[in-house]
Structure 1
Amino acid sequence: MRPLIVFLACCLAAVSAAARNTTGRSFSSEFFFGAATASYQIEGAWDVDGKGWSIWDYLARTDPDHVADSSNGDIAANSYYMYRRDIEMLKELGVTHYRFSISWPRILPYGRANYVNQRGVNHYNEFIDELIANGITPFATMYHWDLPQNLQELGGWLNEEIVDWFGDYARILYQNFGDRVKHWLTINEPYVHCNLAYGYSMHAPRIHSPGIGYYECGRHILLANARAYHIYDNEFRSVQGGKLGIVISSEYVFPASDSEEDIEATRDYFEFHLGQYMNPIFSETGNYPQVMIDRVAAASLSQGYNSSRLRGFSEEQIEYIKGTADFLGLNHYSTRIIYRNSSVIGMFEIPSHEDDTYAASFQNEFWPASQAPWIREYGPGLYHLLVHIKDTYNNPLVYITENGVSTTAGLNDYNRVSYYRSYLNAVLDAIAEGCDVQGYFAWSLMDNFEWALGYTQRFGLYEVDFGDPERTRTPRKSALVYKEIVRSRTIDYDYDPDPYASNAYASSAWLLSIVFAIVNVLIQL
């Protein structure tokens, strides 16, 4: 009976969303569109111009078979050298904002602030200047998972000294780029980073500590974000006038049935995932959600620990963390359905964050699938998540900093077109509901190195030919559709461009421009 209830609920939600789609709404002129990337995933140039090793450089050399296709980010999309082409792509799309990340080991090769790599600073200065010269507003992420290997050897995110290391790094970024970068994103997706690195040991540094290291990692990220925020507040904000936010990822979740167990499990899931990072920063009280504090403490004692595996914050630390974001960067990809019954017993490793949450999930098989097993298209989920954030955390300013879906190679990416239309409709729904959403970044501008999945997943609006030394970028159908949404500020379901025809036209136009230039020179001679 439960699957039928879930199926009917999803159908009703989809019908409701479709009804809202007919209202002819548009994005306001103040709402901005952009695209997003991350340094290790696209830059390449892993050991040039003084860059130090990151934890992913180390993983690629010590455990290459851990990545699905035994690949790495040594060259990736080669954006370190091809960033001008990347900026051309942004202009082709018509977007006005670009979210990129700065490579910590490219700025501080040894992780610490005692040695700054001027060549790395010069590279980002040139890149930021080029963005601004082309009318693109930079959104710079300080940390997108490429920790300097030297710091990892000192404990990385499990060593509380990283709060000081990150603060020193942030100060150097403000000093060198803050005169032009007015939107900073401190740390990308603490839940995903800590869980995949320390919970499931899928990502670098691959340390298996799901019920202890996971919590320590998250605790130190919250303190590091606060340190970067207070340094900016005390030393730079009055002169530079920028804003800082943190990037938090979240699915939307809803109960599999109307049973009290499933409803409670859904509440718990939100608190143990979104709430773990939102509550300390965005709630009026600060600190972790109380259900987390109580449950992890009780579970820890029953498992023979002398204290809670979730190390608490002092009152001073609670106040230090609270309010340390001017806006929320929200990454969202999909929705899950939550349940709790006897089948959940023994499902998860003990101890672990999942066992502490004590809730299981699944996705509706009728939602459109993608190349990634964890992403199914369910646009209304983003609407409900934004409303949940508005109602729970006093309607913070939100930028959608990542949203996208994976496909196989090829230009006719129909499912990505469907996905973007569905989720952008959800953003319009949320704005109509009063949610303070002011911008949207598509993930990703181009195909990239997708961490442990290598190049088996394609998230790009632009297809990258990784077999070509030039790493040729070609716009997909989704790029053309996104471009039209950006231009018209509306979502036209009848617009169906042919990417092959478009690229053929672009190639011929490029050749004609060369011919005309040569003719013009000959005439002047």
Structure 2
Amino acid sequence: MTAFPKTFIFATATAAYQVEGGYDDDGRGRSTWDEIREESGRIADGSDPRLSCDARHKYKEDVQILKQLNVTHYRFSISWSRVFSDGTATSLNEPGIGYYRALCEELVANGILPIVTLFHTDLPLEIFDKGSWLNTETIHNFVSLCEVCFERLGDLVPYWITFNEIGHQAWYAVAKFDNLPWHCPNRPQPQEDAEKNTVSVTAHNMLLAHAQVYRLYEEKFKVFQKGQVGITNSGRWCVPNSESPEDKEACGRALDWNLNWTIEPILKDDYPRTMRQRLPWLPTFNEEQRRLLKNSIDFLGINYYISTTIKTLKKSEDGPSIFERHAGYDYGKERWDKICGETWIRNAPDGLQQLLNYLKDNFDNLPVLITENGCMDRLDAEGDPLKDDYRVVYLSDHLTLRNGCNVIGFTAWSLMDNFEWDDGFSYRFGLFRVDFVSPSKPRVIKKSGK
């Protein structure tokens, strides 16, 4: 195991909606997740739509538990609806941006630097109802949001992340597809070629928004604030199910669909070649857009939890969902430990190493910040839930970084148990356990946090 450089970032993370909760008396507007949580049967545990960690009121206490962990940084997300109550710059909410300012000041005063994610799934409901990321006006509204954040928080924030997992937003949060997660309100679905136009245009517009935000910071703020701007991608590693040429080719396509789709337009001028070949409907970039996108990251964020084995999808087979059918692959036999019971997490630290090697070899060893890594509490656990030895093993295994990869930091997901999207509060990823029954939502450190 290589020694960590003195500048190495140790961080822990949460997302805005997951800890702050929904719209309330500080002027925050409604978001897509406020709507989703109020729809009958949408959240697995049926939890109260207003239940949360209440981080907005408990931020000073939370900074102290961060200090207890001895981390150098804290990654948190901006709730767009808290800053712009209807999603547009005309609805700037002073208490909302003031809360984020107070949080950043409290962090810095305690020797912890902020890593701020500007969009993490939580879209203003009015923006969604006007077309979400299919509407190019959303790009302009998002750039306005980012400009306000740079102006009001930038003197305290050394690292900015424009988007968390564009691909997931494109597939899950604009329209509903069979056998895939559903992260958007129950609205009439796009009627024409949704699996083509909805997904590809959403990702395309979000990439263009990222580029505009990067250039805005570069031209207007960077020389004074000296921060860095990156983007975070889902980092599932893929290995071929066999040594056959067909499985190896399918594995390459799986990496393109899961990883390279939203990296190569930034670092290699266009979508992956295999996607261009198989998806003739992909949008194109004009020369000005290519110029804006070219090398528009100072670092790449990677969320890594699992690896999967990949085999080719035969023409006679349907595949798990339309996502895999487009790419022509299916999943093979699993090779990794189900470290936290019958959940989707696998303990595959070898996959993280291979992913880092891949990024080093294919993208000039660019700086990589591991922005999420962790596992949930075992659902079948007996005894003391604070004795999470499996999480100690998982995190320790993934902190073994080798081979000269340019990793600048590691961010554990997550600081505390919180709302885990459509699973509600049934999955708990925290280094601190939260008692959601108690009105004060006390946080208690687990063994992994210690």
Q: Is the 8 A contact 1:448 1:459 kept in 2?
A: yes
Equivalent of residue 426 in structure 2, options 427, 447, 456: 456
Counterpart amino acid of 2:397?
A: S
Q: Find the counterpart in structure 2 of residue 180 from structure 1.
A: 156
Q: Is the 8 A contact 2:22 2:34 kept in 1?
A: no
Q: Find the counterpart in structure 2 of residue 489 from structure 1.
A: none
- Listed one character per residue, the Cα deviations across residues 438-475 of structure 1 (whole Å, up to 9, x for unaligned) are 11110000000000000110100001111111111111
CA distance in 2, matches of 1:89, 1:363: 41
Seen in structure 2, the aligned counterparts of structure 1 residues 463 and 362 have a Cα distance that, compared at 3 Å, is farther
Structure (1 or 2) with the larger CA radius of gyration: 1
Seen in structure 2, the aligned counterparts of structure 1 residues 48 and 322 have a Cα distance that, compared at 3 Å, is same
TM-score, L = length of structure 2: 0.93
State whether structure 2 residue 295 is matched by structure 1 residue 323: yes
State whether structure 2 residue 328 is matched by structure 1 residue 358: yes
Q: Is the 8 A contact 1:408 1:456 kept in 2?
A: no
Q: Is the 8 A contact 2:241 2:332 kept in 1?
A: no
Report deviation, 1:73.
Answer: 5.6
Q: Find the counterpart in structure 2 of residue 514 from structure 1.
A: none
Q: Counterparts in 2 of 1:368-407, with a 5 A limit?
A: 368-371=338-341, 373-407=343-377
State whether structure 2 residue 273 is matched by structure 1 residue 290: yes
State whether structure 2 residue 202 is matched by structure 1 residue 202: no
Counterpart amino acid of 1:472?
A: P
CA distance in 1, matches of 2:346, 2:332: 11
Q: Find the counterpart in structure 1 of residue 382 from structure 2.
A: none
Q: Is the 8 A contact 2:336 2:347 kept in 1?
A: no
Q: Find the counterpart in structure 2 of residue 47 from structure 1.
A: 24
State whether structure 2 residue 214 is matched by structure 1 residue 214: no
CA distance in 2, matches of 1:459, 1:60: 20
Q: Is the 8 A contact 1:400 1:437 kept in 2?
A: yes
SS at match of 1:140: strand
CA distance in 1, matches of 2:81, 2:448: 33
SS at match of 1:100: strand
Report deviation, 1:74.
Answer: 2.3
Q: Is the 8 A contact 1:36 1:441 kept in 2?
A: yes
- Listed one character per residue, the Cα deviations across residues 278-330 of structure 1 (whole Å, up to 9, x for unaligned) are 101123xx110111011111xxxxxxxxxx2x222223222221211111111
Tell which deviates more after alignment, 72-81 or 158-167.
Answer: 72-81
Q: Find the counterpart in structure 2 of residue 87 from structure 1.
A: 63
**Identity value in percent:** 36
Seen in structure 2, the aligned counterparts of structure 1 residues 317 and 34 have a Cα distance that, compared at 3 Å, is same
* Runs of 4 or more above 6 Å deviation: none
CA distance in 2, matches of 1:115, 1:127: 21
State whether structure 2 residue 121 is matched by structure 1 residue 145: yes
- Listed one character per residue, the Cα deviations across residues 8-52 of structure 1 (whole Å, up to 9, x for unaligned) are xxxxxxxxxxxxx6xxx4323221211000010001253221110
Q: Counterparts in 2 of 1:110-149, with a 5 A limit?
A: 110-149=86-125
SS at match of 1:142: strand
Q: Find the counterpart in structure 2 of residue 268 from structure 1.
A: 253
- Listed one character per residue, the Cα deviations across residues 148-199 of structure 1 (whole Å, up to 9, x for unaligned) are 1111111011212211111111111111111211211111111122222234
SS at match of 1:221: helix
How many positions carry a matched residue from both structures? 436
State whether structure 2 residue 247 is matched by structure 1 residue 235: no
Counterpart amino acid of 1:41?
A: Q
Q: Is the 8 A contact 1:369 1:376 kept in 2?
A: yes
Report deviation, 1:130.
Answer: 0.4
CA distance in 1, matches of 2:320, 2:18: 31
SS at match of 2:427: coil
Supply the RMSD in Å over aligned alpha carbons.
1.7
Report deviation, 1:366.
Answer: 5.1
Counterpart amino acid of 2:257?
A: F
Structure 1: give runs of 5+ residues left out of the alignment: 1-20, 298-307, 481-525
Q: Is the 8 A contact 1:371 1:406 kept in 2?
A: no
Q: Is the 8 A contact 1:397 1:437 kept in 2?
A: yes
Q: Is the 8 A contact 1:46 1:73 kept in 2?
A: no
Counterpart amino acid of 2:79?
A: S
State whether structure 2 residue 289 is matched by structure 1 residue 313: no
Structure 2: give runs of 5+ residues left out of the alignment: 380-384
CA distance in 1, matches of 2:336, 2:323: 29
Seen in structure 2, the aligned counterparts of structure 1 residues 466 and 343 have a Cα distance that, compared at 3 Å, is farther
Counterpart amino acid of 1:30?
A: T
SS at match of 2:89: coil
Q: Is the 8 A contact 2:336 2:348 kept in 1?
A: no
SS at match of 2:36: helix
SS at match of 1:81: coil
CA distance in 1, matches of 2:426, 2:142: 32
SS at match of 1:373: coil
CA distance in 2, matches of 1:76, 1:211: 35
CA distance in 2, matches of 1:234, 1:73: 41
Equivalent of residue 420 in structure 1, options 386, 392, 395: 395
SS at match of 2:448: helix
